[in-house]
Amino acid sequence: QLDLDPSKPLALLCTNVVGDSLALGRQIFTAGMADWLAKTVRHFAQKPDFQIVVRVHPGELLGAGHPSVDIVHSTLPGMPPHVVVIPPDSKINTYDLIELAHVGLVYTTTVGLEMAMSGVPVVVGGMTHYRDKGFTYDPETTSEYLTTVDHLLRRPSGERLSQEKVELAWNYAYRFFFEYPFPFPWHLITFWEDIEARSLRAVLDDSLENYATTIDALLGKPLY
């Protein structure tokens, strides 16, 4: 369906939603997520021995920010065949792509953590919570980033993360998804409706003990 070349190493780039709060202010060596994406595909355009699949975040269907598809096409008006873009409305399963990838490229998306859990070497371009935790590649400059990507793709096909790094990723994911979250009285998506139906005063009067740990965390108190 994507007409990929099985003889060429494959990088899977998973975007954030451009302009989303999870990507804002997270730049390290680029001006932001859009600049990171443009620099990456421009680099790959000059590397016909490699191939890259850009998986655009499905959240872009909501219409926020500058579409990643447009960023790629404006960067590479004559897009070479070894640069493939999957639009946000595609039914292609991202986890199937992870199985094909030799290297994962991410800005801050949690898919990077999931790729590392699957043994895929991941190069992180933004300041995400799982950066510098021992199981990703964390360049500090554009030059280091591109050199790291090239090095990983030139390694023997199928070379994965060490078992130690995979276990680190799994341990981190368990803590992040199951131990780190604290109870909260309102849902992020329906926050304003929830707080209107159940005010802060009502929460403090009726359920303070249920959210004591959460309040301590918000106040900056040590929890462990």
Q: Please say whether the beta carbons of 9 and 51 come within 8 A.
A: yes
User: Judging by DSSP bridges, how do beta strands 83-86 and 10-14 pair with one another?
Assistant: unpaired
Quick one: DSSP state of residue 52? Answer: E
- Separation between Cα atoms, residue 183 and residue 161, nearest integer Å: 34
Confidence at 209, pLDDT banded by 50, 70, 90: confident
Q: Which residue has the tokens 């964390």?
A: 138
Contact 128, 100 (CB under 8 A): no
pLDDT at 65: 58
Q: What does the domain layout of the chain look like in residue ranges?
A: 10-176, 182-224
Give the separation between CA 60 and CA 116, rounded to whole angstroms.
24
Give the DSSP H/E element, type plus range, for residue 122.
Answer: strand 122-124
Return the DSSP state at 156.
P
Which of 133, 148, 103 lies closest to 121, judged by CA?
103
Stated pTM of the model: 0.86
Domain 10-176 has CATH 1.25.40.420: no
Which alpha helices (H) appear in the chain, and where do they start and end? 33-45, 68-75, 94-100, 111-117, 142-154, 163-174, 191-197, 200-206, 212-218
Better pLDDT: 174 or 58: 174
What is the mean pLDDT of the segment spanning 80-106?
95
* Strand 10-14 to 51-55 pairing: parallel
Summarize the confidence of residues 20-27 as an average pLDDT: 75
At 104, give phi and psi (nearest 5°): -110, 140
pLDDT reading at 62 higher than 80 = no
Q: What is the pLDDT of residues 104-142, one digit of tens each?
A: 999 999 999 999 999 999 999 999 999 999 999 999 999
